[in-house]
Amino acid sequence: MLDKQLLNKYAQLLVDYCVNVKKNEQIAIQGGIAAAPLIEKIYIEVLKRGAFPFNRITLNNQSELFFKYAQDQHLTMLPKLPLLEAKEFDATIILYSETNTKSLSNIEPTKQSQFRKTYKPVSDIRLKKDRWVLALYPTEAYSQDAEMSLSEFEDFVVNAVKINKPNPIKEWQALERYQQKIVDKLKNADIVRIVGKETDLTLSVKNRKFINSCGKSNMPSGEVFTGPLENSANGKIYFEFPVCTSGNEISGIRLEFKDGKVIKASAEKNENYLLKILETDKGARYLGEFAIGLNYSIQKFTKNILFDEKIGGTIHLAIGSSYEETGGKNKSAIHWDMIKDLRTEGELYIDDKLFMKKGKILL
């Protein structure tokens, strides 16, 4: 377990920097039982700022139990309470704290897709408020996925969120300034070309807005992202890293696009799962995001998207829903990030000019 000083710094970072809690606000704190030490510190910090904390603590196996015993109405009917809470809470802090990352491996993906469809109005409300953050409390399960000991993974998390620094907030503000230079350079960009192993893909970001993601919604963060024009992607791409979701690992993913749509898809492992996800809805075969990973303090792949999509020197694409603030228009119940490693092989071109080579931005 993280020591008291690090837990305090982590809680203060989430409360003050990520969601900026103010007096009299209503703050939701969501996480599993395993995250209780951090939830306790966040609860205290919210109270100290004069706001009202509401803990939403889940059982370690709650998702597994839900999908095992859920009836049709549980997957297709949206109760009033989640909508009401989404509307009433001023900010939400969500802590990932799984004790078994494979617990949903044998759950039918169509069940999970239907559940995401049903609860999309809740996530839409939260996204529009822009007062939420996803963070992670280190557990044995995550350390095993990352092929580290628990103490090693704790050190990894501490370094990634910068709570090992004297003033973590200043560290994130410095990253924000650096990333803003990149956002400014991309302001009038049009054609993006990604070249690498088994990859030559073009897409357009014309008149779309790049967002400087510097730790406000994800902790850790370290990326700039936008929503590609929905009909613009053409070519093929291979993703070096697997997608790890709901206990499933889909590796060796290859996609081919024509006029924005995925027309061919394959995977070396769990291809059937990939194909089922692509059939979630009409928008699932189109891109919702193009992003550049810029957190160079994260260099190891951990099978956890919260960290992996920020790896400095990578890019990632997401099939599915766009973020409205980028100008993206794609609608879907899913948003699936897939990471392309450009650190050892590959280039990123913006309007025919070399922008990134072997993981390094050319400013």
Q: Which of 229, 251, 248, 250 is nearest to 240 (CA)?
A: 251
* Residue 327 to residues 117, 129, 230, 336, Cα–Cα distance (Å): 22, 16, 11, 18
Residue 295 DSSP code: B
What are the domain boundaries of the chain? 4-164, 171-361
- Report in angstroms the alpha-carbon separations of 267 from 249, 254, 286: 10, 6, 18
Q: What is the pLDDT of residues 107-145, one digit of tens each?
A: 888 888 899 889 999 988 988 888 999 999 999 999 999
- Helix spans in 49-149 (H): 62-69, 72-76, 80-88, 109-118, 120-129, 140-145
pLDDT at residue 105, as a whole number: 85
Predicted local distance difference test score (pLDDT) of residue 246: 77
The Cα–Cα gap between 164 and 30 comes to: 24
The reported pLDDT for the residue numbered 209 is 96
DSSP 195-252: EETTEEEEEE-TTPPPEEESSSSBSS--EEEE---TT--EEEEE-SSPEEETTEEEBS
Average pLDDT along the chain, 363 residues, taken 10 residues at a time: 93 97 98 97 98 96 93 95 94 96 86 90 87 96 96 96 96 95 96 97 97 93 96 97 87 97 96 93 96 94 94 96 94 93 94 94 87
pTM here? 0.88
CATH number of 4-164: 3.40.1830.10
**Across-strand partners of 243?**
250
176-229 per-position pLDDT tens digit: 999 999 999 999 999 999 999 999 999 999 999 999 999 989 999 999 999 999
Q: Starting from the edge strand earliest in sequence, which strands make up the sheet with 314-320, in order?
A: 211-213, 223-226, 287-293, 314-320, 335-341
Helix 62-69 and helix 109-118: axis angle, to 10°? 100
- Res 245: pLDDT: 83
Question: DSSP state, 344?
Answer: S
